[in-house]
Structure formats: C-alpha cells, structure tokens
C-alpha cells in the first residue's frame, strides 16, 4: 500500500505531528489532489485547537491548497480531469437546496457548509481528497507558493472589495499591512480605487507606497478617522486587523453611506451608534468566497500583478511554520511546499 506524509493534529490543542498514512482514494463526487503547496492561515487554529463544533480527530489542517488532480471519482464533472491544476479554499461544499443556497448565499448553507481542513482533511499533506464543488482552476502563470495564499487571504480581500460598492476613484482605506492587508492594498490600488493604508509606525509607509497606496496614515501619530475625513471620507474601510479598538477608531472617517468591512476576527468591536445613524454608515462582516470567486481572484491577480509575500517551508517543518504564523513572527504569509 502506497503511503503519504501528513501533518496532523491528534487531539484538540495537540501538536502537529508528521505521520505516514495510506494515500486515500476519491469518492464518487471527489478528486484526489497531489498537493504542491498549502498556505498556513490563522483560521487553521480552529482545527488545531478543536474550536469548530463537531470537528473529528485526527485531522489534517490546511485550506489554502494548490496542486494537480491525479484521480477522479466516477461522478465528477468532465472539466476536472487528472493533470488539471487546481486549488481548494475554505468553502468546500453547500447543499444547493436550502433557502439560503437557493438565494445564492452559499456561505450561509443551512444544512452545514463543509470547510476544508475542518470537515475533512486539508492540505498539510502530500495528497488530499476534496469534493469537486471545492475546486478552482489555477492559472499556469502563478507558481504554487504564490497561488496558495490567494485561496483564502486573496479571495477574502478581493471579494470583499469588489462587493463593497466602491467604484474606481473612490477613497478606500485598508486597515493593517499584514497577511491580509498587504494583499488588500494591492487589490484596491489595481481596481482603480484611491487607496489609503493605515498601519502603526512611520516605518511601514515605504512598503505601503510600493504596494500601491496613494496615502499612508500612521495610526500611532494621528487619528485615522480625522485623517480620512481630511481626504474626503472613505467609501470603504477594509479592516484586516484583529484589534477591535483599531477598527472602531476608523468609523468616524467613513464618508456618508460609507462601510466598515470587517475581515479580521476581533473579540469585540465598539463604535458610536450616532456615527452610524447620522451618516447612514454601516458595519459588515465578510469571509472568503466560493470556488468561482477564487477563480476570479486568481485571474485578476495574474492580470494585475498582485502577489503575496511569503515565507516558504517544507512540509516536514509544518509545526515550526505554523508556530511562526500564529506567533505573529511571520510578517505576511507562510506556505508549506511538498
């Protein structure tokens, strides 16, 4: 029996362990992928710490997967054949029959949307099996380590921006210049949005400018809301940080009908209801997207030159790479290669 390496978690809060397992066969509506790269996302902590209700162990994390199909189930649509390069992101499956799915709100599937690396084993492995509904085509122009973070961090920022209501020329602020924020600035600038980057410290301004920001606001030296107001008010603030007070501090800088789009999972968020009421401002959460959203993200990234900034580790160093990401020592993204 042929085997593969996986980095698995055997119990909630347990360590990542590199073990050998039999190479799995795909089911009728699934494909097997020979994994080339898998990004490490902060959401992988949901798997490692057992925070997702009903998660079964042992489990292999990883929902930023890029690889090549090497086997398909008998009922898989013809577009997915061995040799095709594909990616798998967070959102893997939805029922298509509940009321929310029928309205196109697949992320809110009432029968329980399946999540890669939580509902089934993810991409910290030489091979993985994924439902055909999870697959996104990956352009040849994107090397696997560059494509992997776009399967979650990329689609999250791109999809939020294109659904934000902002139009070319509008002022859009990106709060944070980390793993999500450095992609958000690139996407916003290349969408033709007048982009302001907000981060802590003057030292981050050169990076923000290189990524495409027209304006930089040092939140340690100035009030972000006041600075945004001087620029005319932001149509959108894309909040990629996980610090609630930092998010709340930008609401006063929104233009009338402006929107704070929350991508970072802060513990709490406080703001003045008067700021929301008086300017008809709003706060909205956003997460990832479906496989077709991911394909759009990848295509736009190729066309516009958006790329993640990565630290790359081999699979056998998965535990070290995971710790570097979760500790905040990694500046942007961390990717495993197989």
Write the pLDDT tens digit of every residue in 36-92. 999 999 999 999 999 999 999 999 999 999 999 999 999 999 999 999 999 999 999
pLDDT tens per residue, range 233-282: 999 999 999 999 999 999 999 999 999 999 998 888 989 899 899 999 99
* pLDDT over threshold 80, residue 186: yes
User: For position 111, what pLDDT does the model report?
Assistant: 86
Q: What is the pLDDT of residues 192-223, one digit of tens each?
A: 999 999 999 999 999 999 999 999 999 999 99
Q: What pLDDT score was predicted for residue 267?
A: 83
Q: Which residue has the tokens 């007070």?
A: 245
Residue 266's pLDDT is 84
Residue 323 has pLDDT above 80, yes or no: yes
Taking 90 as the threshold, does the pLDDT of residue 19 lie above it? yes
φ/ψ region of 142 (left if φ > 0, alpha if ψ in -120 to 50, else beta) reads beta
The beta strand positions in the chain, using DSSP E, are 3-9, 16-22, 30-40, 64-72, 85-88, 91-93, 114-115, 127-131, 135-137, 171-175, 194-199, 215-218, 234-239, 254-262, 282-285, 310-314, 333-337
Q: Given this model, what pLDDT does residue 90 score?
A: 97
Query: Average model confidence (pLDDT) for the chain?
Result: 97
Would you say residue 112 has pLDDT above 80? no
Q: Which domains does the chain have, with CATH numbers?
A: 3-152+288-337 (3.90.180.10), 155-285 (3.40.50.720)
């Amino acid at each position: 029996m042929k085997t593969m390496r996986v980095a698995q978690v055997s119990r909630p809060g347990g360590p990542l362990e590199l073990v050998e397992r039999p190479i799995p066969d795909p089911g009728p509506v699934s494909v097997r992928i020979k994994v080339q790269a898998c990004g490490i996302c902060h959401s992988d902590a949901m798997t490692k710490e057992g925070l997702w209700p009903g998660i079964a162990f042992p489990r292999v994390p990883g929902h930023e997967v890029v690889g090549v199909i090497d086997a398909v189930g008998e009922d898989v649509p013809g577009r997915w054949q061995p040799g095709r390069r594909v990616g798998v992101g967070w959102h893997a499956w939805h029922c298509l029959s509940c009321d929310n799915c029928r309205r196109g709100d697949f992320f809110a599937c009432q029968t329980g949307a399946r999540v890669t690396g939580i509902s089934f084993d993810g991409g910290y492995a030489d091979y993985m099996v994924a439902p055909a509904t999870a697959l996104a085509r990956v352009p040849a122009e994107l090397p696997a380590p560059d494509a992997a973070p776009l399967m979650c961090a990329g689609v999250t920022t791109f999809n939020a921006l294109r659904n934000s209501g902002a139009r070319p020329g509008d002022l859009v602020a990106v709060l944070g210049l980390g793993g999500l924020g450095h992609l958000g600035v690139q996407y916003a600038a290349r969408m033709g949005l007048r982009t302001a980057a907000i981060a802590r410290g003057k030292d981050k301004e050169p990076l923000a400018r290189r990524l495409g920001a027209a304006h930089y606001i040092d939140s340690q030296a100035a009030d972000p809301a006041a600075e945004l107001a001087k620029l005319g008010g932001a149509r959108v603030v894309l909040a990629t940080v996980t610090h609630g007070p930092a998010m709340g501090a930008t609401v006063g800088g929104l233009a009338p009908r402006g929107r704070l789009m929350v991508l970072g999972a802060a513990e709490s968020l406080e703001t003045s209801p008067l700021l929301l009421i008086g300017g008809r401002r709003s706060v909205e959460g956003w997460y990832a997207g479906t496989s077709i959203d991911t394909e759009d993200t990848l295509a736009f990234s190729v066309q516009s030159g958006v790329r993640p900034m990565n630290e790359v580790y081999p699979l056998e160093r998965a535990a070290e790479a995971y710790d570097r990401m979760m500790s905040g020592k990694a500046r942007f993204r961390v990717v495993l290669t197989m």
